[in-house]
Structure 1
Amino acid sequence: MNKKLSLFYVLLAQALLFCACSSDSDFEEKQPSFHVVKTTADMSHTGGKGTIELDTEGVKATSNESWLKTVVNGKAIELTFEPNDSYNSRTATVTLKHADDEQTVSFIQMGIISEVDVYDHTYPYTGGEKSFLWKTDQPFEIQGMQEWISYEVKGDSIVFNIEGISELDSGRKCEMHITSGKYYSKTVTFTQDEAPLSYQMLLGNYTLEYKKWKGIAVETIDVSFVEKEKDKSITMKGLDFDITVLYKADLPGIAIKSQPVSNDIWLAAWQGGYNGGGLWPNSKFGLVSQWNKDKRNIELTMIPDGVTDSSWTDSEGNLVIVHAFILWTNSGEYKAEKTSRLVDLKFIKKAE
């Protein structure tokens, strides 16, 4: 029994001695020999600079990529980023070593950012400007740009400016080929609309060509268009009676409808030799103009407006399409001093 107790006390004493000899530091986590205090990087795809700040001198730094250069300067690692000529981003890692400790810091450099979007556009005859997305610093080229177009890069936009044209000028187009960087290549068309054939342009003096029946000789008479209701209607003077002419901006041009010109006289819709000589004093029928597209030398050829009526047919049973007018009274054709018959009308504006 005494032997067993003696052995117990020996083991206990050894255990106490082990505990007494062990330091508290043997159970603490080992601290690194240096710390990264701060990392900065001012860079883009064009390159840049950066710094890794440390709390200890003597740290060695190496980069795993040739485009990221490192220089140790005391407690700082100075970084130099070379330009990234790719459209893809890339990553480099800097390894820091001091004594037996090692840490890594990674950097991502973005690739070329090039967001460009120029597209077809139509400008009014007055000109103006239009902005397009132009978020790029890549070299670019614009081929085919005409002298009436200019541009300016403003921030993330490219602004094209178009000069105005005269109300009398025709519209115009310019096809341009635009390239930017390696990948953007596009052909765009800028169109400048001409001024519309305005109400004001139609006012003035005209030579009216007409016939008295289909297929016979052309005759002429001087007439004038004067303002009646601005942008809506015109009074045609020069015949035996004034005739109301409608301004049609949608054509653009004019329309003339069958209409009363006095209490008992009508400008009646008439076949005028187009499969007959029937007439109908009815304001639903008329003619519209076909413009020659030349605002400096306006010509308006009057053609059927297409209005028909199922109760009015020609000698062959076809619906009558009105081509002419005739002055008509209850007692028959009006005996005009100038003309009562207007077939195949054409208005030719005189130079002012």
Structure 2
Amino acid sequence: MTPPGPPVVHVVLPGDVDDVTVPSGGNVYDRTVCDGLAAGGWWVREHPVPGSWPRPGAPARGRLGRTLAALPDGASVLIDGLVACAVPDLVAPHARRLRLVVLVHLPLGDETGISQALAAELAAAERAALHAASAVVATSPWAARRLLELHGLPADRVHVAEPGAARASLSRPSEPGTRLLCVASVTPRKGHDVLVEALAAIAGLDWSCACVGGLSRDPAYATRLLQLIVARGLDERIRLTGPRTGARLAASYAEADLLVLPSRAETYGMVITEALAHGIPVLATAVGGVPDALGRAPDGSLPGLLVQPGDAHALAAALRHWLRDAELRQTLRAAARQRRGTLPGWDATVHRLGAVLAASDPSLRTA
């Protein structure tokens, strides 16, 4: 009798998943779990679909339709929600013959900077797509609760596979803590404009800020942000470096004292755990899954500070507290280093995702 081959999973991804000019947490997650599943004995068949997801044009819709139609009956399919959730008319017809698992990085209607009408349209499309799926995977407990609240999904079909954190060397903090770092694509959702206004309010203090992230996802917003930086007289203190990955991103963390993430919406905030993996404290907004990502040190202390989203005054006050209070900096650094030791690795994410895939298709169950 011929022994069974490795379990097969087809993964449908946005076309820019490996584009280093537009890095994102979603792309890092997708790439890492694909590689992790392959390393764990799965045969991973990747199907990147280029397009302006989640609002694709006709060529992207056609490409996705052909991709799904070509998959064999009974195939196990992991499909990124950025692709699946916008086009239920393409996804739902295959729900009876494919075992569809949708990976949701952010509920589409929660995106910042879109009209209420578009948000409602995207939410309705997402609801139809997720109800057609065999299972749904969210990337944080908050995101799972949000999807249940928004779409009335059966609770036993919604699962959580939080991002892991790769092992990293400790940063080299400066005593005064003046080196600020923001790692985020320059889009309205990430709140760079709020950060600039907060920094303008503390211009009399000593600090510098490097904003690492792509400028091409929303060029109009990036242009307005640059104009705001100049208007506030901060163009020599705030640097928009563009995207960085790999060793260059690691070097940015190595030289940072504090990660600042002023997001208006965030499903998890992978850069938070990336910073904590380097022992760097975090100042972020208390929004979405951010508190999940920040977590607590084993002694219960917070490895950072949380403020309300969209509040430049609160953000400025927290930055002022950090820069002026040496005891606070020492306390948060100690908590960040403790939290560093408790961060789960990506192997836990891959294991959880594999379990969901196996549950959706008993033939995929591995020992």
How high is the TM-score relative to the length of structure 2?
Answer: 0.20
More strand by share: 1
More helix by share: 2
Higher relative contact order (CA 8 A, sep 6+): 2
How high is the TM-score relative to the length of structure 1?
Answer: 0.21
